């Protein structure tokens, strides 16, 4: 009856996303009077695995095997499915990030388990099992009933709080259930270093066409720096090549849910809002008081970004 949650690691370390997942899994298990099993795949030190216990993990299964050194969705989902069956888990939880999106659908078919993808809240009920998910790119939400005996949920990043519960995780090293080999081969990896990842960031400062020229980005970068945030941009800006494509947030770009999203010179087209509407707070700075971004924002400044941004940076420095 347990709830199994898969947590990936980044060079042997977990991040906030991993702890959000464990917190979410613990709370879901509580609703079902059940317990949580965490599955970690890859090389992670015991001291790092122990941290999962602080968020409600009682049992941590650690699987380390060369055959799973790179993400081969077939090999990974076969391994995870075997562990789900062995542990008799009834709910499987993954992140709705790139990895979760690669694995959840394959697991679904293998386990004949319905998926609630991109959920942002605890299940509304567990019998029947109903989850709440974003649809129509944030223009609607749906209650989805999962009718299969085993259920899979993928949790939207940055939407669930961390619940620290002092506990002690028991770590069990496990072996691959069977010889599993993948068919894909990773030839090269390019990692972004140093910068805060846009999808991980609590604060995001984003610029649109209203910034007028790529040469005007200085004050925006300074503000992001002063706030300890990441930078983003709207689609026209990345299409023009003013900013790298990795920064494009919106329906077809990255979908983010930071605590604070500062939209500078962004009018707020439906497609842009689709990527940022789950942000807890939206602040808009725009010269056009009728821009639709102000309907989505809680705080706004009608004014010229070039004048407003330096003042904000000054005010932050004086804090």
Partner 1 sequence: MKILVCISNVPDTTTKIRFSEGNTSIDTAGVQWVINPWDELSLTRALELKDNSSAGVKSVTVVHVGPASSEPTIRKALAIGADDAVRVNAESKDAYYVAAQIAEVVKKEQYDMILCGIESSDYNGSLVGGMLAEFLGIPSVSSVSGISVEGGDTVLTREIDGGKEVVKVPAPFVAVVQKGIAKEPRIAAMRGIMMARTKQIRLYEPLSVDPLTAVTVFEKPEPRAACKFVDPEHPEQLIDLLQNEAKVI
Task: List the interface residues with partner 1, window 99-128 (CB under 8 A).
Answer: 99, 101-106, 108-110, 112-118
Cβ-based nearer residue to partner 1, 102 or 180 = 102
Q: What are phi and psi of 37, to 5 degrees?
A: -120, 130
Cβ-based nearer residue to partner 1, 32 or 130 = 130
Write down how long the chain is: 319
Q: Restricting to residues 210-239, name those near partner 1 by CB under 8 A.
A: 227
CA dist 58 to 23, 104, 145, 209, 220, Å?
Answer: 12, 23, 28, 50, 44
Question: Element (H or E) spanning 61, and its range?
Answer: strand 59-63
Token pair, residue 65, equals 């095997």
Please tell me whether residue 43 binds partner 1 under the rule CB under 8 A. no
Please tell me whether residue 189 binds partner 1 under the rule CB under 8 A. yes
Cβ-based nearer residue to partner 1, 161 or 185 = 185
Please tell me whether residue 203 binds partner 1 under the rule CB under 8 A. yes
273-310: buried (b, 16+ CB within 10 Å) or exposed (e) per residue? bbbbbbbeebbbbbeeeebbbbebbeebbeeebeebbe
Q: Restricting to residues 244-303, name those near partner 1 by CB under 8 A.
A: 245, 248, 251-253, 259-260, 270-271, 274, 277, 280-284, 294-303
Please tell me whether residue 181 binds partner 1 under the rule CB under 8 A. no
**In which region does residue 57 sit, left (phi positive, over 0), alpha (psi from -120 to 50) or beta (all else)?**
beta
- 95 forms beta bridges with 155
Which residue stretch of 61-69, 71-79, 85-93, 171-179 sits at the interface with partner 1 (rule: CB under 8 A)? 71-79
Cβ-based nearer residue to partner 1, 35 or 148 = 148
Which residue stretch of 57-65, 163-171, 176-184, 214-222 sits at the interface with partner 1 (rule: CB under 8 A)? 176-184
Please tell me whether residue 68 binds partner 1 under the rule CB under 8 A. no
Question: Element (H or E) spanning 91, and its range?
Answer: strand 91-95
CB of 109 to partner 1, least distance (A): 4
Q: Restricting to residues 2-31, name those near partner 1 by CB under 8 A.
A: 10
Q: Map residue 199 onto helix, strand or coil.
A: coil
Site size toward partner 1, by CB under 8 A: 98
Please tell me whether residue 314 binds partner 1 under the rule CB under 8 A. yes
Please tell me whether residue 82 binds partner 1 under the rule CB under 8 A. no
Cβ-based nearer residue to partner 1, 155 or 169 = 155
CA dist 290 to 199, 242, 274, 301, Å?
Answer: 29, 25, 19, 12
Q: For the packed helices 73-87 and 98-111, what is the interaxial angle rounded to 10 degrees?
A: 60
Q: Restricting to residues 125-164, name those near partner 1 by CB under 8 A.
A: 130, 133-148, 154
Cβ-based nearer residue to partner 1, 213 or 318 = 318
- 153 forms beta bridges with 93, 116
- 119 forms beta bridges with 133, 155
Token pair, residue 211, equals 């910034």
Would you give the binding string for partner 1 spanning residues 44-63, x where CB under 8 A is met? --------------------
CB of 106 to partner 1, least distance (A): 4
């Amino acid at each position: 009856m347990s709830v199994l949650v898969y947590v990936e690691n980044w060079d042997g370390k977990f991040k906030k996303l991993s702890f959000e997942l464990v917190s979410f899994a613990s709370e879901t298990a509580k609703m079902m009077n059940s317990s949580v099993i965490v599955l970690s795949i890859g090389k992670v030190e015991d001291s790092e695995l122990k941290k999962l216990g602080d968020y409600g993990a009682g049992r941590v299964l650690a699987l380390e095997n060369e055959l799973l050194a790179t993400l081969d969705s077939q090999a990974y989902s076969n391994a995870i499915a075997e562990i789900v069956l062995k542990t008799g888990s009834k709910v499987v939880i993954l992140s709705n990030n790139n990895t979760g999106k690669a694995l959840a659908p394959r697991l679904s078919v293998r386990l004949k388990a319905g998926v609630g993808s991109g959920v942002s809240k605890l299940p509304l009920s567990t019998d029947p099992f109903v989850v709440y998910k974003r649809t129509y790119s944030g223009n609607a939400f749906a209650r989805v009933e999962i009718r299969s005996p085993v259920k899979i949920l993928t949790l939207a990043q940055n939407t669930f709080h961390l619940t620290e519960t002092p506990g002690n995780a028991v770590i069990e090293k496990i072996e691959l259930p069977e010889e599993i080999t993948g068919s894909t081969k990773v030839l090269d990896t390019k990692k972004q270093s140093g910068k805060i990842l846009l999808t991980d960031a609590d604060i995001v400062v984003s610029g649109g066409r209203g910034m007028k020229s790529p040469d005007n980005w200085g004050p925006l970068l300074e503000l992001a720096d002063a706030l300890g945030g990441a930078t983003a941009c709207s689609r026209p800006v990345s299409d023009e090549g003013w900013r790298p494509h990795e920064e494009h947030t919106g329906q077809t770009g990255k979908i983010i849910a930071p605590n604070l999203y500062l939209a500078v010179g962004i009018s707020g087209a439906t497609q842009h809002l689709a990527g940022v509407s789950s942000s807890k707070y939206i602040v808009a700075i725009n010269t056009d008081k009728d821009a639709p971004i102000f309907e989505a924002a809680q705080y706004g400044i009608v004014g010229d970004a070039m004048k407003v941004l330096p003042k904000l940076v000054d005010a932050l420095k004086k804090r």
